[in-house]
Amino acid sequence: MLSIIIFSAVAAIALASGVAVFRVDSMARATYALAISFVAVGVMLLMFDLDYIGVITILMMVMEMAIMAIYMIMFMGMNPALMPMSMVHNKRWSAILAVGAFLLLAGCALLIPWPERTGSPAVDLTVSLGEAIMGSKMLVMLTVSPILFATIVAALVLANPRGRYDRWGDALRRSTPDDPQQGGLSR
């Protein structure tokens, strides 16, 4: 019983801050509302004994939102003061679609006769996760890691306007790169 009450409270926080993301008047508040939503979901994961993944979710998402806030302000430049803002299009259709999707999903969740639980969770879930990653599910992780690496490279290629010829000169012969901001290494 207690767990249901706690879960409902956390769920309410997650949903309310999720809604707040698109309702508040400042970029910073929107971003941190999303962060709160993620932290609430992380806490829910903790309630399912998923210690590792719950804490990792909180860690990753707070980090992501801290960076995201910068992008929000960089590209949308909003002041900390609360300027009324709304930049939506197709508001009505978006709302209709979202509500429709919710009714469909919630209906499925409530009406489908879910099967009985098979098996029981391992005693130490973190250990079982580690064994799965390094054992039977190793292939998954082996696939994820090059994808992540490719993402880093691709994102840098997309976002970085300056190639090595801009930095090192046409003949790549400069002793130090011509950067707008000097780095810490005398390369």
Partner 1 sequence: MTLQLVLVVAAGLFCVGLYGALSQQVVVMVMMGLELMLNGVILAVTAFWWFLAPNADGQVLLLVVIAAMTVEMTMGFAIATLLHRSRGSDMTDTATDLSQ
Partner 2 sequence: MARRAVQGSHVLVVEVPGWSETRMRVEAELARSGWVAALSPADADILLVCGAPGQELAAVCEGVWAQLPGPRARATVLTEGGVVSTLEQLATELLDEARQRRDARTRSRQPGEEGSAMQHIQSSAHEAHGTAHEEGHSRGHQPAEPDADADADADADMDMDMDMPMPGGIALASGGSDRDGLEMDVLNVPLGPVLPHWPAGLVVRCVLQGDVIVSAGAEVLPAARQANDGGGMGSSSIRRSTHEQGRRAVVRHSDAAVQVLALAGWSSAAGRAGRIRDNAVSGAALVDLAAALEQLGRRIKRSRLLRWTLKGIVVAPGFDAPHDGGSRADAVSVRDRLIEWLDEAVRIARGAPDAYESPEFAAAQHSNLAALPGLITGTDIASARLIVAGLAIDTAKIAYAPEPLS
Partner 3 sequence: MTGIAAVNPIWVLLAPIALGLVALAGAALNGIVVAHAQGRSVQSGMASPILEIARLMRQRRRTTVAADVLLWRIGCAGLVVVALLKTAVIPVGAWVLADIPVGVVWFNALDVMVWAVVWLIGWGANSAHSLAGGYRFLAQAVSYELPLMFALVTPVVAAHSLRVSDVVDAQRELWFVVWMPVAFLVFCMSVVAFSSWGPFATAAGADIAGGILTEVSGVDRLLILAGRYALLTTGAAFAVALFLGGGAGPLLPDWLWTILKTLLLLATFIVVSHRIPIVRPDRLAEVAWVVGLPIVLLQTLFVSVVVAVKG
Residues at the contact surface with partner 3, assessed by CB under 8 A: 26, 28-29, 32, 35, 51-52, 55-56, 58-59, 62-63, 65-67, 69-70, 79-82, 124, 126, 181-185
Please list every residue from 54 through 113 that binds partner 2, using CB under 8 A.
Answer: 74-91
Write b or e for each residue in 49-77: b if 16 or more Cβ atoms lie within 10 A of its Cβ, otherwise e: ebebbbeebbeebbeebeebbeebbeeee
Distance CA 186, CA 34 (A): 40
35 binds, among partner 1, partner 3, partner 2, none (CB under 5 to 8 A by kind): partner 3
Q: Which of the choices partner 3, partner 1, partner 2, none does residue 105 contact, using the CB cut-off of 5 to 8 A by kind?
A: partner 1
Compute CA distances 3 → 39, 49, 52, whole Å: 18, 12, 20
Contact (CB, 8 A) for 65 and 41: no
**Listed ranges 88-96, 168-176, 178-186: which one lies at the site for partner 1 (CB under 8 A):** 88-96
Closest distance to partner 2 from the beta carbon of 72 (Å):
10
